[in-house]
């Protein structure tokens, strides 16, 4: 098991891997990675929210081009023990403009160090560019 990191280190590693967009922690608390988790934990301390029995769920978009365009969403499950964090698994999904699932990849037994960079994560669900077949000469002419 990976050594646990404090929030600052945890967020810095993921941000350096390209996860620098906006996220939601437990379905609320929108903000950058560190801010979202901090706001959630602060809310828990005030008693407005409670820590989950399992992992924290962090959700966000890895690629967004508009409401009616395909997008890549990411869910991260984060273990939180005594003020320290570790990434346990990720789910990356490509959805069309209507929210229908096109392709999904699940990564388990992760650590914050072994997590893919953002570009690698997006590549897992994006189709490889199709090769253009060269024009073959017409054999028969009528």
| Tens-place pLDDT, residues 14-38 | 999 999 989 999 888 899 999 999 9
In the numeric block, which tokens belong to residue 80? 């939180």
* CB distance 105 to 72 below 8 Å: no
- Supply angle C-alpha 70, 73, 76, rounded to 5: 170
The whole-chain average pLDDT of the chain stands at 85
Is the distance from CB of 125 to CB of 72 less than 8 angstroms? yes
DSSP string, the chain: -PPPB-HHHHHHHHHHTT--SEEEETTEEEEEHHHHHHHHHHHHHHTSS---SS-EEEEEEEE---TTS-EEEEEEEEEEETTEEEEEEEEEEEE-TTS-EEEEEEE-S--TTTSPPHHHHHHHHSPPPPPPPPPPPP----
- Structure confidence by residue, pLDDT tens digits, 110-121: 888 888 999 999
* pLDDT at site 1: 45
pLDDT of residue 17: 92
Looking at residue 128, its pLDDT comes to 61
Across residues 107-112, what is the average pLDDT? 89
Domain boundaries in the chain?
Answer: 7-125
Q: Is the pTM of this model over 0.85?
A: no
Q: Would the pLDDT of 127 be above 80?
A: no
Residue 58 has pLDDT above 90, yes or no: yes
Average pLDDT over residues 66-70: 87
Query: Taking 90 as the threshold, does the pLDDT of residue 105 lie above it?
Result: yes
């Amino acid at each position: 098991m990976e050594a646990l990191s404090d929030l600052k280190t945890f967020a810095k590693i993921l941000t350096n891997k390209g996860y620098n967009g906006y996220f939601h922690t437990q379905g609320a608390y929108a903000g950058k990675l560190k801010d979202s988790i901090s706001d959630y934990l602060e809310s828990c301390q005030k008693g407005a929210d409670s820590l989950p029995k399992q992992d924290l769920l962090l959700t966000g978009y890895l690629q967004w081009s508009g409401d009616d365009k395909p997008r890549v969403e990411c869910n991260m499950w984060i273990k939180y023990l005594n003020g320290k964090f570790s990434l346990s698994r990720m789910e990356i999904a490509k959805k069309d403009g209507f929210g229908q699932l096109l392709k999904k990849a699940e990564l388990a037994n992760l650590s914050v160090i072994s997590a893919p960079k953002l570009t690698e994560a997006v590549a897992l669900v994006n189709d490889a560019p199709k090769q253009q077949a060269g024009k073959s000469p017409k054999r028969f002419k009528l």
